[in-house]
């Protein structure tokens, strides 16, 4: 298993739960996630039921993942690894047309038995701290929400190790098909030594293409940088009073304990360093930031690079050849889709023809 971001950890953990022997390889296991990793940009929002489509692969993966995260959280908490979870997602409409589209989606979800609720402008104005005054209304999804990415990754790693997960803080240099007389199909060359395996799962984000290209598999992915902020809100201003995390025009506001708020993330294709202009747009919600947001004190600024597939839909879930699986290119939905990705990998190993 190559890659120990949230996707790689989820895959490795689930395989261990089903009795598979797993070796997880990633230099981040020694030094933590770098700013080049997609998981570093993640705020952990799970937008599943509020997803605008109602069919297709994206819809199915999101619903499967939301259900699996509930199961996984309960199991991991029972084993002593609680993962912070904040239920509720309030998606604001920036104009009347968006609000009408939300109304149609809310009706459709209610027919499906999903409890989405439409809020009008007057109902939004009752919420504190105040939301952007330009919002025409909102759609509330109480069963979507936000999972804290770093504690989730730590829980998966620690519980995985307890159940037999082997880890190696090493950099993979080359993948090689083993000769026909070898018992295993794959040879993994790392800066810490050689590993052999019958199955190989590549979940290395932006590092995946350079490992696969020499094998004849072209799956290019482009970096999309995301910047995020943690803010200390003014005294008496507590975003935990909201009915969940808030999404406004592509920017997410995630309440945190102690009167804090996460704000993110920017979408900056092709950059390795964050743009100050994009950060300023984020900081002020594109000019729609309420007074309390302008008064908030920045505590922390971080960034990460997401992997977005070129000319293919995200994510890339493919068996490229016997024993070689690609699970990468989740773009902005790595945390959300990690459990469904893990379930897909497990199915390929145990029921390859399914």
Encode pLDDT of 132-169 as tens digits: 999 999 999 999 999 999 999 999 999 999 999 999 99
Whole-number pLDDT of residue 270: 87
Of 266, 175, 190, which is closest to residue 224 (Cα–Cα)? 266
Whole-number pLDDT of residue 271: 77
The CATH superfamily holding the domain 6-41+151-221+311-350 is: FAD/NAD(P)-binding domain (3.50.50.60)
Contact between residue 219 and residue 212 where contact means Cβ atoms under 8 Å apart: yes
Encode pLDDT of 59-88 as tens digits: 999 999 999 999 999 999 999 999 999 999
pTM, two decimals, is: 0.96
The per-residue b/e assignment along 48-68, b for 16 or more CB within 10 angstroms, e otherwise, is bbbbeeeeeebeebbebbbeb
Whole-number pLDDT of residue 182: 72
* CATH match for 86-144+222-309 among 3.40.50.460, 3.30.70.100, 3.30.70.3270, 3.30.9.10: 3.30.9.10
The structural domains of the chain, with segments of one domain joined by +, span 6-41+151-221+311-350, 86-144+222-309
Residues of the chain with pLDDT under 50: none
The distance in angstroms from the start CA to the end CA of the chain is: 21
**Cα–Cα distance, 76 to 336 (Å, whole number):** 17
Q: Which residue is associated with the tokens 């007057």? A: 122
Whole-number pLDDT of residue 37: 65
Contact between residue 129 and residue 238 where contact means Cβ atoms under 8 Å apart: yes
Q: Which two tokens stand for residue 214?
A: 């020499």
**Cα–Cα distance, 40 to 57 (Å, whole number):** 26
**Cα–Cα distance, 113 to 106 (Å, whole number):** 11
């Amino acid at each position: 298993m190559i890659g120990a971001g949230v996707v790689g950890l989820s895959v490795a953990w689930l395989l261990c739960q089903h009795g598979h022997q797993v070796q997880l390889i990633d230099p981040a296991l020694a030094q933590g996630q770098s700013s080049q990793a997609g998981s570093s940009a993640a705020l952990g929002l799970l937008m599943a039921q509020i997803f605008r489509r109602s069919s297709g692969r994206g819809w199915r993966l999101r619903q499967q993942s939301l259900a699996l995260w509930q199961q996984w959280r309960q199991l991991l908490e029972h084993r002593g690894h609680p993962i912070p979870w904040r239920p509720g997602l309030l998606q604001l409409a920036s104009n009347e047309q968006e609000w009408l589209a939300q109304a149609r989606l809310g009706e459709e979800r209610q027919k499906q038995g999903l409890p989405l609720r439409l809020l009008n402008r007057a109902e939004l104005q009752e919420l504190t701290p105040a939301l952007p005054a330009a919002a025409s209304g909102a759609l509330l999804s109480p069963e979507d929400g936000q999972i804290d990415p770093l504690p989730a990754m730590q829980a998966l790693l620690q519980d995985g190790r307890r159940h037999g997960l082997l880890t190696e803080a090493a950099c993979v240099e080359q993948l090689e098909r083993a000769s026909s007389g070898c018992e295993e199909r794959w040879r993994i060359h790392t800066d810490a030594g050689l590993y052999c395996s019958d199955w190989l799962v590549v979940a290395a984000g932006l590092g995946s293409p350079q490992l696969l290209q020499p094998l004849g598999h072209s799956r290019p992915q482009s970096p999309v940088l995301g910047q995020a902020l943690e803010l200390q809100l003014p005294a008496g201003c507590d975003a935990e009073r909201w009915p969940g995390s808030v999404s406004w025009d592509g920017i997410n506001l995630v309440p945190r304990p102690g009167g804090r708020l996460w704000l993110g993330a920017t979408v900056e294709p092709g950059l390795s360093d964050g743009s100050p202009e994009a950060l300023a747009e984020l900081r002020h919600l594109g000019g729609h930031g309420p007074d309390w947001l302008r008064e908030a004190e920045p505590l922390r600024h971080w960034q990460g690079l997401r992997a977005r597939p070129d000319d293919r839909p995200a994510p890339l879930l493919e068996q490229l050849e016997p024993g070689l699986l690609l699970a990468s290119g989740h773009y902005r939905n790595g945390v959300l889709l990690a459990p469904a990705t893990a379930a897909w990998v497990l199915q390929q190993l145990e029921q390859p023809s399914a």
